[in-house]
Amino acid sequence: MTDTAPAPTPAERYATFRERRELAARQPQGPLALVNTQWVGDEQTIWGVPGTWAPAPEGGLTVTATAADGITVDGELVDGTVRVRGKDDPSPSTIQFDEHTTGFVIAGEDGLYALRVWNSESEAIAQFGGIDAYDYRPDWVITGTFREIEGGTTVGFEHLKSEGHTRDEVVPGEIRFTYDGVDYDIAAFKSGRALQLVFADATNGDDTYSVGRFLFMAPNPDGTITLDFNTAILPPCAFSYHFNCPLPPKQNRFPFRIEAGEKNVLASDGSLLH
């Protein structure tokens, strides 16, 4: 007879989640490693890396460099001008500048492309002390309802650096939950196979990051949806100024305190990282 280990408790699973989040933050292309996002509208240089960059007519960017610059695109040393495919391409390009500096190209809604530069020896990684978070709270695992909207609908999400402009995101269904006797209808947009809730609550700017937090979830087969706020995470812009994060829409701004999930990114001395 084979002994089987007991299933981990919710608190133990939460501890593992916390460890993985801190490990992910330190990765070579984790949020602490992002040191630049620069949009390219015409031929230009980009801070911190060699080469001359320009929009590519077929999408993405081109880079012009000599072999002495040491840039590789898709594993090939650049000596001349080559196209760098963006993340919107089925086969996006990889870029290596040196042993600790990498990059890739992202697409914007306006047809422009940007180069993102990652440094595995960034100042933020060197200063990182951890992600401050609340202790596990079983009372913040809330069951709501999910009603699919055929074809989905769209909600405009303002972004931190977009100066009031919004981007439409697909909201595939209506989510409702009840807290303290009050019903809340919230908007979560598609993010891969999951739904992403961008929310704010009364802890923001006090115990937690002022911009808000994210929560990822998926509908259950029985029409319910589980909102485990213990797994609420900080947005990438809490780790690096070079991200442009979505802001919570009005219906996702809660008047009460959600004392669960991540709070802030800390430096090694216990202060806020930024």
Which residue segment(s) compose the domain that 159 sits in? 130-267
- Same domain? For 145 and 102 the reply is no
The last residue of one of the domains, among 97, 119, 141, is 119
DSSP state for residue 256 in the 8-state scheme: S
- Same domain? For 35 and 148 the reply is no
- Same domain? For 113 and 136 the reply is no
- Same domain? For 138 and 105 the reply is no
pLDDT surpassing 60 at residue 175: yes
Does residue 14 fall inside a structural domain? no
Task: Kindly state the tokens that stand for 163.
Answer: 């100066």
**Range 60-64, long-range pairs (CB < 8 A, 24+ positions):** 60/84, 60/85, 60/86, 60/89, 60/93, 60/105, 60/113, 61/86, 61/105, 61/113, 61/115, 63/95
- Same domain? For 64 and 161 the reply is no
Name the domain count of the chain.
Answer: 2
Strands 72-73 and 95-98 turn out to be antiparallel
pLDDT in tens, 28-79: 999 999 999 999 999 999 999 999 999 999 999 999 999 999 999 999 999 9
What is the model's pLDDT at position 3? 64
Q: Distance between CA 199 and CA 227 in Å, rounded?
A: 12
Mean of the per-residue pLDDT values of the chain? 94
The last residue of one of the domains, among 84, 119, 154, is 119
- Same domain? For 100 and 217 the reply is no
Does residue 25 fall inside a structural domain? no
The last residue of one of the domains, among 90, 119, 148, is 119
- Same domain? For 256 and 142 the reply is yes
Percentage above 90 pLDDT, the chain: 85
- Same domain? For 200 and 79 the reply is no
What is the model's pLDDT at position 229? 98
Minimum mean pLDDT range among 33-42, 200-209, 242-251:
242-251
Q: Distance between CA 220 and CA 20 in Å, rounded?
A: 25
- Same domain? For 225 and 143 the reply is yes
- Same domain? For 72 and 139 the reply is no
Q: Is 253 helix (H, G, I), strand (E, B) or coil?
A: strand
- Same domain? For 85 and 198 the reply is no
Does residue 20 fall inside a structural domain? no
